[in-house]
Amino acid sequence: MDAYMAFYGDRAVQGGRRGLADIREHKVALWAERPPKMVRLDDMRVTERKNGWRVEFVQRYESKDGFADKGMKRMVLVKAGPRIIIVDEQWSAL
């Protein structure tokens, strides 16, 4: 979980969640119930912005219990010192 969370900025937004603690709490609960088996990214587009990048792609997710979904993921990434971090992440079903 720490390695996953290291990609997010301290004040990152993910859907209705705000900040690292909120995002971590959601992922811990989600993965306890439905741990990921496969995450696939298709049709990725990267657009340079003034202070970073906007990344959009189709995400296909499958959990170990057979749950699956497909959606459009939109992320805003910025350079923070030597790191590139996620500051905003949104997903909508397709």
pLDDT in tens, 16-34: 999 999 999 999 999 999 9
Which domains, from first to last, does the chain contain? 2-93 (3.10.450.50)
Which pTM value belongs to this model? Answer: 0.90
Closest by CA position to 61, among listed 87, 85, 43, 35: 35
**Tens-place pLDDT, residues 35-85:** 999 999 999 999 999 999 999 999 999 999 999 999 999 999 999 999 999
